[in-house]
Chains A and B, each alone.
Chain A
Amino acid sequence: MVKMQRSSLRHTRLSAPSLALLALAFAAFFCALQAQAQDWVRTGTNLGADKIRIAVANFKPYGNDPQATQQIAGLKSTFDATLFADLNNAGIFDVVSKSLAPPLMPGSPSEMNVTQWSAAPASAAMVAFGSLTVVSGRVLVNGWLFDAKNTQSPQVLGKQYSEEASDENARLIAHRFADEIIFRLGGGLPGISESKIYYVAASGGNKEIWSMDYDGQNQHQITHLGTVTLSPRISPDNGRLAFASLGKDGWNIRIFSMLLNRMVSFPAFGGTNLSPAWSPDGNHLAFSSSRTGDPEIWVSDANGGALRRITSYRGPDVSPVWNPRTGSQIAWISGRTGLPQLYIMDADGSSVQRMTDGGYATSPSWSPNGQFLAFAWDRKYGPGAPGGQDIYVMEVATLRWIQLTHDAGRCDFPSWSPDGRHLVFESKTGSRTEIWSMLADGTQRHKLTNSGGSSMPNWSWK
């Protein structure tokens, strides 16, 4: 049972009656969520829909050419592993382990007998299966999804894919087929198998921006600036990557075009410019700038024009993020009262509201449905205090929060997946910082990097 706590700006001790009231409030809250079938709570609690039990058959290899047999076997092993992992990672399935699944490889609907899969021990409600072959240099995959409980007309999905034969494309096809299944069975939310994670990787004294697939595969370097570059933020259309980079005259916002594969110009504003954030329409950037002396939140258009300041309060103001659903609010971190706290405001700087009641709160990320803020919080920060820095999620409307990580190192920079079911974050243990992903209820943690110096992950918008 996930327990949500309420962040109160007043420090109150809860009496027994108020505890009872709070319990009632929780009950009401969860009922409401159940009624709306919130995706996040579905993965996060034992309330709401059960996970769908799905079996994934190994795909059947076809091919008469003995020379292609080895290639097909390689591609098939990549494909099978990726499809299984994608469905397992999705957070909405109870995937039948390979050891419980029937030792069958049905390659087409005529070879599929769903009763073999719906029976114990597999007890699958759904089964994915198909075939893979290579024809004149192209990998060809047929994939089906069958309802194992429906013997009359079991087919839910039938898909065909053809790409140039390569290991990378075998993975790509598996991602696409997995996303079709997740889209169909996961309440119409697109899967995230083709999404990317941008992050910072340290090398020597420098830090550059890298990119990887959502599952940690395909890690490769994007920038080669030879300096310290931080806070990568991909634009909503995946076309431009904004970040902050240390130059001779300090920190500037810089932009890399993913389409042109090179840096594009963006003005240097003077002062320290940090933590850019794209508005959901991709037309504006919010960032921290000290161009007039004190670090404040500024907004410009995507080319750096029409610059305007939206906060005006002494102390550090940094790490803005837009409400991706409405684009009309910004959450950010401010040290205006001492230790950094989480705030939200309207995008014009009005209606400032403090969200956290103490501790040391940093690095907000706003969930795609606009309902939640994920952030890093050390609730017992202070000299000699034993506080750990962990990932928390707060419901914006109620200020209720839950802690997602426990004893998982010093965690920071959470970033929501496009489906709002996952979070990626950095965790520092000893001197090593790695990137992890997890479901938005804190379960199913996976380490994605192994370099020792990977940080500040940013999940793409789609």
Chain B
Amino acid sequence: MNPLIASSQRKSAAKNFALTAALLSLALAAGCHKKQTSPPLPAEAPPPAAAPTASLTADPTTIDLGQSVVLNWRTTNATTVTIDGIGQMVPNGTQTVAPSASTNFHLTAKGDGGTTEANVRVTVRVPEMPTVPAATTDNTDETIFKQNVQDVFFDYDSYSLSADAQASVVKAAAFLASHPAIKVVIGGYCDDRGSAEYNLALGENRANAAKSSLVSAGIAADRLRVISYGKEKQFCTEENESCWQQNRRAQFSIDR
């Protein structure tokens, strides 16, 4: 099973790439990488090709299950930079990920001067769960569900569905109509500006807008449950517009 169940992305450029990353479903070898946190000094290499340097950090390094973490890496003299389980990366960048289990993120920077690695461990606190044996069909459902029922995003301080969001809801409705056994929880989320109480009410309106739209498209209301999370459960924690946009959403999950 893939420990990286969700990998969000910087909006524009990284979007295609992240989609690929999600589809790749690479498994990470957990906990068996050599710890090598600091970039090694360039060896007394022959002048032309300097050895690459690489650093990889995570903020925060410890999260609760469901929270996200921002990976931040810097490399020099590298031609190819990859992070296991995510894929090929730009030389310097950040990436928001939400690992479902504690993960060693392993970055490899290859250049003319050789190969350098950097690691960072993200610890995920998983609450004690009653062990329900997850049937394999559920996992399949989950994957297909995620592909067909996608989160809808909202304009700032708005709870009306954009044209994009409407299209996404139509697709979701078609999927739900053909899978009548699936019930859905719609979570309403807001960016972290503004006031906590007001954002919970706004998140409720967002999730409700998504619900009403599904109901209009013929999905029975009793299959849909709404919970507002306001700004209490942030998906992305940076203070910039692309991050705020990711947080202003109604998120669909299977109601078990």
Where the two chains meet, the residues of A that have a C-beta atom closer than 8 Å to any C-beta of B are 204-205, 207, 228, 230-231, 244, 246, 249-251, 271-272, 274-275, 288, 290, 293-295, 315-319, 333, 335, 338-340, 360, 362-363, 376, 383, 389, 412-413, 455-456
Taking CB atoms, residues of chain B closer than 8 Å to A333 are 195, 197-198
Contact A363 B204, beta carbon cutoff 8 Å? no
B138 contacts A by Cβ under 8 Å: no
Taking CB atoms, residues of chain A closer than 8 Å to B226 are 250, 271-272, 290
User: Most chain-A Cβ atoms within 10 A of its Cβ — which of B195, B232, B241?
Assistant: B195
Contact B204 A275, beta carbon cutoff 8 Å? no
Interface code B139-180, partner A: CB below 8 Å = 1, 0 otherwise? Answer: 000000000000000001101000000000000000000000
| Sample of 6 further A-B pairs with CB below 8 A, known A228-B232, A274-B197, A293-B208 | A230-B196, A231-B197, A272-B200, A290-B201, A316-B201, A363-B195
Q: In the complex, A456→B230 CA distance in Å?
A: 15
Contact A362 B197, beta carbon cutoff 8 Å? yes
List CB contacts (< 8 Å) of B208-256 with chain A: 208, 225-229, 232, 241
Q: In the complex, A316→B198 CA distance in Å?
A: 7
Knowing A290-B208, A338-B157 are in contact, say whether A295-B196 is a contact too (CB < 8 A).
Answer: no
User: Most chain-A Cβ atoms within 10 A of its Cβ — which of B196, B205, B228?
Assistant: B196
Contact B228 A251, beta carbon cutoff 8 Å? yes
Q: Interface on chain B toward A: helix, strand, loop, or mixed SS?
A: mixed
Taking CB atoms, residues of chain B closer than 8 Å to A274 are 197, 200-201
User: Most chain-B Cβ atoms within 10 A of its Cβ — which of A207, A244, A290, A363?
Assistant: A290
Q: Which of A204, A250, A335, A363 lies in contact with B201, CB distance below 8 A? A: A335
Q: Which of B194, B195, B205, B225 lies in contact with A295, CB distance below 8 A? A: B205
Q: In the complex, A288→B225 CA distance in Å?
A: 18
Knowing A293-B208, A455-B196 are in contact, say whether A288-B157 is a contact too (CB < 8 A).
Answer: no
Leading 5 A-B pairs by shortest Cβ distance: A316-B201, A362-B195, A205-B64, A318-B201, A295-B201
Taking CB atoms, residues of chain A closer than 8 Å to B157 are 335, 338-339, 360
Q: In the complex, A231→B125 CA distance in Å?
A: 26
Contact A362 B232, beta carbon cutoff 8 Å? no
Taking CB atoms, residues of chain A closer than 8 Å to B227 are 246, 249-251, 272
Interface code B17-53, partner A: CB below 8 Å = 1, 0 otherwise? Answer: 0000000000000000000000000000000000000
B81 contacts A by Cβ under 8 Å: no
The residue in chain B whose Cβ has the minimal distance to the Cβ of A250 is: B227
**Smallest distance from the beta carbon of B256 to chain A beta carbons, Å?**
11
Taking CB atoms, residues of chain A closer than 8 Å to B200 are 230, 244, 251, 272, 274, 318
How many A-B contacts if CB must be within 8 Å? 96
**Smallest distance from the beta carbon of A320 to chain B beta carbons, Å?**
10
Taking CB atoms, residues of chain A closer than 8 Å to B67 are 205
Taking CB atoms, residues of chain B closer than 8 Å to A244 are 200
Where the two chains meet, the residues of B that have a C-beta atom closer than 8 Å to any C-beta of A are 64, 67, 125, 156-157, 159, 194-198, 200-202, 204-205, 208, 225-229, 232, 241
Q: In the complex, A249→B187 CA distance in Å?
A: 11
Taking CB atoms, residues of chain B closer than 8 Å to A204 are 64, 125
Q: Which of A231, A250, A455, A456 lies in contact with B228, CB distance below 8 A? A: A250
Q: In the complex, A217→B156 CA distance in Å?
A: 40
**Smallest distance from the beta carbon of B130 to chain A beta carbons, Å?**
13
Knowing A250-B226, A316-B202 are in contact, say whether A294-B208 is a contact too (CB < 8 A).
Answer: yes
Q: Which of B64, B198, B225 lies in contact with A319, CB distance below 8 A? A: B198
Contact B201 A412, beta carbon cutoff 8 Å? no
Taking CB atoms, residues of chain A closer than 8 Å to B64 are 204-205
Contact B202 A335, beta carbon cutoff 8 Å? yes
Contact B204 A376, beta carbon cutoff 8 Å? no
Q: Which of B156, B208, B225 lies in contact with A383, CB distance below 8 A? A: B156
Taking CB atoms, residues of chain B closer than 8 Å to A272 are 200-201, 204, 226-228
Q: Which of B196, B204, B225 lies in contact with A316, CB distance below 8 A? A: B204
User: Most chain-A Cβ atoms within 10 A of its Cβ — which of B194, B200, B205?
Assistant: B200
The residue in chain B whose Cβ has the minimal distance to the Cβ of A204 is: B64
Contact B194 A288, beta carbon cutoff 8 Å? no
Q: In the complex, A251→B64 CA distance in Å?
A: 20
Contact A246 B232, beta carbon cutoff 8 Å? yes
Q: In the complex, A272→B208 CA distance in Å?
A: 11
The residue in chain B whose Cβ has the minimal distance to the Cβ of A456 is: B196
- Chosen A-B contacts, 14 in total, with CB atoms closer than 8 Å, are A204-B125, A246-B229, A246-B232, A249-B225, A250-B228, A272-B226, A290-B201, A317-B201, A318-B200, A335-B201, A335-B202, A362-B197, A363-B195, A412-B196
Taking CB atoms, residues of chain B closer than 8 Å to A295 are 201, 204-205
Q: In the complex, A418→B235 CA distance in Å?
A: 39
Contact A315 B205, beta carbon cutoff 8 Å? yes
User: Most chain-B Cβ atoms within 10 A of its Cβ — which of A316, A339, A362, A363?
Assistant: A316
Q: In the complex, A339→B196 CA distance in Å?
A: 14
